Chain A
Amino acid sequence: MMILRNIVSLVGAGFTWRRTSTLAPLFSVAMAAGASLILMTLLFGLRRIAVGGVLSSLPITRLVVGPKQFDVLFFRIGSTAGSLNESLIDTLEDIPGVETILPEMILTMPTSLMGNLIGTSFSSDCATYGVPEEFFPENERPDEFKPLSPGEAVPVILSSQLVELYNTGFADAQNLPGLSSKALIGRHFQLFIGTSSFFPAPPGTKIKTVRCRIVGVSDLVSVTGVTVPESYVRQWHDWYYEGEKEPKYASFHLILQSSDVVSDVRKSVETLGLQSRNSGEIADKVALLTRYLSLATGILMMVFLLLAGLGTAQTLGLEVTYHSQKIGLYRALGASRRDITRVYILRALTIGIVGAFCGTLPAVVLLSSAETWMARIFPFIGRLPSSPFHVSPAILAIALILSTGASLVAGFGPARRASRVEPVMAFRQRET
């Protein structure tokens, strides 16, 4: 059996490798390596942005738990929105993975509001919710959202979707200007506790009028009403029912320890006869999109690698035909079938390694310069949480291994053919 050193020498000098038969597979392997590197870099870059930038900003670990409800034809079956008791807090606290519980209390008596916006009076029935300050993340929490001294207007947070409702459904129809959420901040309105247009208070029952001031808007609060600090709701509840009824809750917001426990906590909540929702649907959609992107990238890479492999296999196959007399001579002089196989495998490996480096090097340069000039054309690129053009060593290694591997695998067919060259048959085609 030939020793490796002799095989290497023979690959280098024992054959007269034609320029085209070297450059063609080198080029195709280089193309595959470069394309793989660029595709993988962009894919992983986009995934990093999607997962690290977008998904991490979503409140995936915030689970909203409410009464289970389902629709049967025209009817909604299940408990009403304000049917959750305080005792549930202890039960929910016992679920593994739950870090904090933020209750959303609701006033169960009728409430309504009346105000003035851009010279137009409005009144509406509404629900009244009470939440603790911690209900809002620190960066979204208005400073004024806290219990104030008697006589001061009660701070209120409205749903940001109400602004959308105004702009899309009301402003156009009434020829009023569109408003941003800032237009609402600081405005006052009156809240009536104990009466509404649907359930007017019978004579002799209690009614309280409260002056409120809008201090913020948020996506976290219910769109169907106004949200005030929890202590106000508790106070109004006790005043109305005089301690005869327990306060009720519309929902409990569970803050979970990590996104890993979401699915388990949701299952536990289900077993309590409750239902839950979070931003997981968005995460699922992003995950699905990245899966499709990965699949498309994978298919493209496979096509490039396949083309490189086919190019290498075809060129090496032609070389076997071209060198068959020489292969026959080497076999006659003592090279075994395995030696000839190793010569061609080493040749394919050399093409793979050189081609892979020749392809990845310009790709790295291209990606680095692309980052600079793309940021000039599209400034938002500079504000992304991470660069989609950053080449990681792992991706570089994968691109090198894949393209070298494609060339190596492509070399097996021609190597096998070369090893089957019969010296006597080969000599019949006179070469020398």
Chain B
Amino acid sequence: MIISFSQIRFSIGPKAEKHPILWNVSFSLNAGEVVALVGSSGVGKTTVLNLASGLLRPDEGSIQTLGVDLNEASDEDVSHLRASNIGIIFQGFHLVPQQSALNNILLPAYFTNQPAHQYMARATVLLDRVGLSHAAHIAAVDLSEGQRQRIAIARALLIRPRLVLADEPTGNLDDESARRVLNLLISEVRREQGTLLIATHDRRCLDLVERSLYLNNRTISTHSSDT
């Protein structure tokens, strides 16, 4: 099991005025799966990804990611888990604007227990795979939105993560660009034999994933992508 959510409850706001986001959410992801978490904007998809990566802690329930109980694990353990086994594609990309495309891809290597320069060859390969070898030394701020999207994907794959969490990877892309980005992401994750959870409100990607989880009314319902 790569991810296991059990009876997760999560609220935001001050204690007196807690606003529930997730209510008794349970689901699991197996190794090698490519799954979409579908829901309209603001329904809590990003929260699910943040909980899965340990960036947030639930109010109640238990989460296991890659065998680590996130409720019990220390900050050091959760950070190590993210640094060594989880690749994250953020909704806003979160690239370092002044740094080059290559350095942005290389960034997760700094948080591993290997010298960062050892990942240079892999970063170059990934840059090539996302079709941006010509932009290696261009600052992220000077890249187009589509290019930045591809840099974010390459960055998430740098450490050969066992789990990739992608938050709205198609964003505001047009149909053609969205399909190309999704194909690239899924093929790269499959090439690395990883597991992929894509949070999206874009139903265009449903035919590319193996199954979908639907987030509605603060809880998740499971449907196969075949149905």
Contact = CB atoms under 8 A, between A and B. Distances in A.
A9 B98 contact: no
Nearest to A422: B55
B83 A334 contact: yes
Interface stretch (A149-157, A352-360, A423-431): A423-431
Nearest to B97: A432
B19 interface: no
Given A14-B110, A339-B111, A424-B50, A334 B96 contact: no
A424 B94 CA distance: 12
B53 interface: yes
Interface in B34-56: 50, 53, 55-56
Given A326-B96, A432-B95, A332 B110 contact: no
Nearest to A330: B111
Nearest to A5: B115
Contact of A6 (B53, B79, B88, B115): B115
A398 to B, nearest CB: 36
| Chain B CB within 10 Å, residue with most, of A3, A9, A432 | A432
A430 B95 CA distance: 11
DSSP class of A's interface residues: helix, strand, loop or mixed?
helix
A184 interface: no
Given A333-B111, A334-B108, A339-B111, A427 B79 contact: no
Contacts of A334: 79-80, 82-84, 86, 108, 111-112
Nearest to B158: A333
B93 A6 contact: no
Nearest to B152: A432
Contacts of A424: 50, 55-56
| Chain B CB within 10 Å, residue with most, of A9, A331, A333, A424 | A333
Contacts of A430: 92
Interface in A246-263: none
B107 interface: yes
B90 interface: yes
Interface in B44-102: 50, 53, 55-56, 75-76, 79-80, 82-84, 86, 88, 90, 92-98
B144 interface: no
Q: How large is the interface on A (under 10, 10 to 19, 20 to 34, 35 or more residues)?
A: 20 to 34
B96 A432 contact: yes
Interface in A320-334: 325-326, 329-334
B116 interface: yes
B114 interface: yes
A418 to B, nearest CB: 14
A432 B139 CA distance: 12
Given A329-B96, A427-B94, A336 B114 contact: no
Interface of B: 50, 53, 55-56, 75-76, 79-80, 82-84, 86, 88, 90, 92-98, 103, 107-116, 140
Across the A-B interface, give the 7 residue pairs with the lowest CB-CB distance, nearest first. A334-B83, A334-B111, A336-B79, A334-B82, A6-B110, A333-B108, A336-B76
Given A2-B110, A334-B84, 7 more contacts: A14-B110, A326-B96, A333-B82, A334-B83, A335-B110, A337-B76, A430-B92
